[in-house]
Amino acid sequence: MRFPLQKKIGSYLKLAELIFFPSVCELCSRLLEFPDERIICRSCLQRLKPRRTSFCLCCGKFFDDSGEPHFCRQCVLLRPFFSVHRSCGLYFGSLKDTIILFKYRGYRVLGKALATFALQALGREESLWWGVDNIIPVPLFPEKQKKRGFNQASVLAKELARQKDIELIEGQLIKVKRTPPQTSLEASDRRKNLKGAFKVVHDQGIKGKTVLLVDDVYTTGSTLQECSLVLMKAGALEVKALTIAQA
C-alpha cells in the first residue's frame, strides 16, 4: 500500500516528467507510452538503419554501390592522419532529425539511443575497435559548450565507453580557438579554419595509445583530420574515428 505522501511525490515526479519530457514522439507525434521512451518513440528509433553500401576502407566515405569496400581515390593519393573512420549512416531522414533534436534542441537524453544505434551498426567492426585503449570525444570551444549546455560528442563518447568498457579520456584534447561553423565554409577553407584549433594538454596521457575519436557528424573530415594530427604529434600510436552520420 502506498502512503499518501509517497503518492503525492509520485504524481509530482510524473508531472515533472511531463514538463521536462514532452509526452509525444518528436518525430511522429505518437504518444510515448513505454517507460523507456524519451523524446522519440521506439518505432522511430527502430527506423534508424545502418548504411549497408560499400565504403572507403580508410576514411569511411560511403560509396553508392554495394560492392566490396575499397580505398577511395583521395585515400590512395594521401592517407589521412587517422587510420580508419566509420559512420553508421547518412546524415539524412530520421537519423538527421534525431541528431538535430539531440544537438540543437538540447535533448541530451537522446545520446544514449544514438550510441546504442552506433554499436548496433559498428559494434562488431574489428578494424575500428581492435586495440583501442581509449575513447576521446571531439571537443567544443568552451564558450560554445557553455551555450549549448553540453558537448554532444562527449555524451556519445561517454555512452560508447560505458557500453564497450573502454576507458574515456576527457579534457586532454581541447579546443583552444573559436572557429566559425564548418557548415558555413567551402571545403578548402575548412582545413585552414581549424588549423591550430585543437591542443593536447599533457602528451603523457596520449603517448603510445591507440585512441578512438568520437564525433556526431562527419562532413569533409577536416575536424577528425586536425584532431588526429594533434593526437599523433602528442605521441598517439594510432587514431581511429567513429561518427554517427556522414553528410
Q: Minimum Å distance from CB 148 to Zn ion?
A: 24
Q: Which is nearer to Zn ion, 6 or 46 (CB)?
A: 46
Sole residue written with cell 580508419 = 84
Residue 217 · residue 95 · CB < 8 Å:
no
Q: Minimum Å distance from CB 27 to Zn ion?
A: 5
Residue 42: Cβ-neighbour burial (10 angstroms; 0-12, 13-18, 19+): middle
Q: Which is nearer to Zn ion, 107 or 209 (CB)?
A: 107
Q: Which is nearer to Zn ion, 22 or 208 (CB)?
A: 22
| Cα separations in angstroms, 90 against 50, 85, 246 | 8, 14, 5
Q: Minimum Å distance from CB 203 to Zn ion?
A: 28
Q: Which is nearer to Zn ion, 114 or 157 (CB)?
A: 114
Q: Which is nearer to Zn ion, 28 or 187 (CB)?
A: 28
Closest CA to 125 of 203, 212, 200: 212
β-partners of residue 212 are: 135, 240
Binding residues for Zn ion, rule: CB under 5 A, are 25, 27-28, 30, 41, 44, 56, 58-59, 72, 75
Q: Minimum Å distance from CB 17 to Zn ion?
A: 18
Residue 30: Cβ-neighbour burial (10 angstroms; 0-12, 13-18, 19+): middle
Q: How far apart are CA 69 and CA 246, in angstroms?
A: 17
Q: Minimum Å distance from CB 190 to Zn ion?
A: 16
